[in-house]
Chain A
Amino acid sequence: MKITLAFLGLLAPVVPALAHHSFAAEYDSNKPVTISGTVSKVEWTNPHARFYIDVKDAGGKVTTWNFELASPNVLTRNGWRRNSLKEGDQVTVSGSMAKDGANLANARTVTLADGKKVFAGSANEGQ
């Protein structure tokens, strides 16, 4: 498991689509996060599809990260399915961290172990 919290200058901020809530009030587009790990759960539910990754640190402590996607409606209309990402998939996910410090992020890109990207074109849409 690898986790990278990157606070890089001059990164192009993520400009999300509109959601049922304010993106800017929940996530900080200037705090990108990249996590590699195994998907432990997928929730294909409104108002947002979500997936979770368990990350184990050097001491063995497991932290669960919660990644928010667009709504299943948006994802479905963009051609994705409820099984496009499955429990047990190895993924690298990049996104924007929650402002409140929770282990929560909005997923911008989700890349499977074979390099295939899922939810492309909609992963950063907070709807």
Chain B
Amino acid sequence: MKNFLGGAIAVLSAVAAFQLLGQAQQPTSPATGKDPALTPAQSTAPAGGSANADTKKGKGRGRGPARPQGPTPRLPDGHVDLSGVWNGGGPIGDVAQGLMQGETIEMTAEGKKIFESRESKDDPEANCLPTGIPRIAPYPWRIVQQANTHVFFLYEGNIHSFRQIFLNQSKHPDDPDPTWYGHSIGKWEGDTLVVDTIGFNDKFWFDFRGHPHSEQLHTIERYTRADLGTLENETTVIDPVMYAKPFKIKFTATLRPNEELMEYICQENQQDAQHLRGKAGLP
């Protein structure tokens, strides 16, 4: 029954290896029939969640639908309207791919020890647990703004969950319970929504490579909708336990017009984690 064809096991070519390292494909196009211009062949595009090189306006490395063009939308009260379905906007494979110019990641001894010991089977995302912050899953997500009180991030995938940002709170609780998304307060600085978050647990990873953090993690995200189809996210990562100094990363999300979120219950049939082998690394 089994025919073993001889031959050497192929070695990844340099090109393929490069593709693996740098790939930032995203899940889908909105090929739901709502947008006949999009076909399955056009359905993969940079996630905008991996490398800044993938976030140029209107480009998808030739594979994805063009980034929608148009002016930055605004609410009747004058604030920028961030709402919409987005793709990307955070690290997927390696948080270092988003480092801003002149920024470096310098892990403490403890951070390095954890980073180097991590195995792919333990990645929380592979085990259907939340991404935390700043990691993003390769699935669409939606921003919902509720007047001047809340901003909600609704995540389709991995996991089907939500994050809430309080515009109506000026400070964090004194001793918040550690959670996957922490406690986020937001305020407008001009046209930029600045989100300050503490109160994280230490269970999620920043990326497939397993960059670590502690419960001391503090993130400051700055969301700017540069135009209709572009949402820039500059995040300052502060964690003195794992990193010798703060670092700044920037990722850009792409609007997915006509897209709707779908149900995605990762826990229903998760069979992957038990088959994962080797150290944590790029996908």
Is A8 a contact partner of B128 (Cβ separation < 8 A)?
no
B174 to chain A, nearest CB (A): 35
Q: Are B158 and A9 in contact (CB under 8 A)?
A: no
Q: Which residues of A contact B12 (CB under 8 A)?
A: 13, 29-30
A121 touches B283 (CB 8 A): no
B contacts with A: majority SS: loop
If over half of A's interface residues share one DSSP class (helix, strand or loop), that class is named, otherwise mixed; here it is: loop
- CB pair A45–B126 under 8 Å, yes or no, is no
**Chain A contacts of B53 at CB under 8 A?**
none
Verify if A19 is at the interface (C-beta below 8 Å from B): yes
A9 touches B8 (CB 8 A): yes
A102 to B25, CA, bound (A): 27
Choose, from A72-80, A86-94, A108-116, the stretch at the interface: A72-80
The CA-CA distance from A1 to B266 in the complex, in Å, is 33
Rounded to whole angstroms, the CA-CA distance of A127 and B156 in the bound complex is: 12
Across the interface, do A20 and B7 meet the contact criterion of CB distance under 8 Å?
A: no
Smallest beta-carbon distance A65→chain B, Å: 12
**A45 engages B9 (CB within 8 Å):** no
CB-CB under 8 A for A48 and B271, given A71-B157, A127-B138: yes
Bitwise, A94-115 to B at CB < 8 A (1) or not (0) is 0000111010100000000000
Measured between alpha carbons, how far is A46 from B47 in the docked complex, in Å? Answer: 20
Chain A residues 24 to 38 lying within 8 A of chain B, measured CB to CB, are: 24-26, 29-31
Which residues of B in the span 64-118 have a Cβ within 8 Å of any Cβ on A? 92-93
| Interchain CA distance A58-B245 in the complex, whole Å | 63
Given contacts A19-B138, A20-B157, A21-B273, contact A77 B266 (CB under 8 A): no
Which of B15-23, B141-149, B177-185, B217-225 contacts its partner?
B15-23
Taking residues whose C-beta sits less than 8 angstroms from the other chain, chain A's interface range is 35 or more
Which residues on A sit within 8 Å (CB–CB) of B236? none
Q: Taking each of A17, A45, A47, A68, which has the highest tally of chain B beta carbons within 10 Å of its own beta carbon? A: A47
Which residues of A lie under 8 Å from residue B50 when comparing CB positions?
18
List 22 A-B residue pairs with CB atoms under 8 Å apart, sorted by A's residue number. Answer: A2-B3, A7-B6, A8-B10, A15-B20, A17-B27, A18-B50, A20-B266, A21-B126, A22-B120, A22-B208, A23-B283, A26-B277, A46-B264, A47-B266, A48-B269, A70-B27, A73-B27, A73-B264, A78-B40, A120-B40, A121-B40, A122-B43
Contacts beyond the supplied A18-B93, A21-B125, A100-B277: 4 A-B pairs with Cβ under 8 Å: A20-B157, A22-B283, A48-B269, A71-B157
